[in-house]
Amino acid sequence: MLCPFCGIENDKVIETRAADDGRSIRRRRECLSCGKRYTTYEKVEMPPVQITKRDGTKQPFNRDKIRSGLIKAFNKRDITEDQMERIVSDVEYMVYNKMYQDSKSGAGYEIYSDDIGKFIMQSIKKVDEVAYIRFVSVSRSFENIDQFLQELNELKRERDGQ
């Protein structure tokens, strides 16, 4: 790895450990030329996935789009950059896991934009109920207030474990 300080490629790894619950590897490195230390991360490169939209057209799965949806839902809520990144990577893993499970059946797989919406909802719900309701109200167009209240009640029941 090229040293970011002196620009010479002559380093050794002084520590390696799993980060992000095993989704990445963090390495502490020391430059043998200038003696400075720096950190690198190694993670799986996800192959591109096509998402089928409601009108049947396809578009590539895009982390940035998920992130911007989250930024809206979590506006003025208490969330760190790490938690946000964690939700995006949760969603990404759910997408790849669904592809894997579906393809095991031999019938191939298809990921719909509705699946992505569901995965995002599941991940947000674990972190922040208010952000969850915001996200749901934008992505699922409620026809009336009763539908909205029903969603709230379900959320409450789940939380209270009834």
In terms of CB distance, is 8 or 44 closer to Zn ion? 8
9 vs 15, beta carbon nearer Zn ion: 9
Q: Is 136 exposed, middle or buried (0-12, 13-18, 19+ CB in 10 A)?
A: buried
CA angle, residues 26, 31, 33, in degrees to nearest 5: 170
Distance between CA atoms of residues 70 and 85, nearest Å? 10
Cβ nearer to Zn ion, comparing 11 with 90: 11
| CB 13, min distance to Zn ion, A | 14
Rounded to a whole number of angstroms, the minimum distance from the CB of residue 31 to Zn ion is 3
**In the complex, least distance from residue 61 CB atom to Zn ion, rounded to whole angstroms:** 37
Write down the least CB distance from residue 17 to Zn ion, Å: 22
How many Cα atoms sit within 13 Å of 107 on the Cβ side? 6
Secondary structure of residue 29 in the 3-state scheme: strand
Contacting positions for Zn ion (CB under 5 A): 3, 5-6, 31, 33-34
Comparing CB distances to Zn ion, the nearer of 36 and 63 is 36
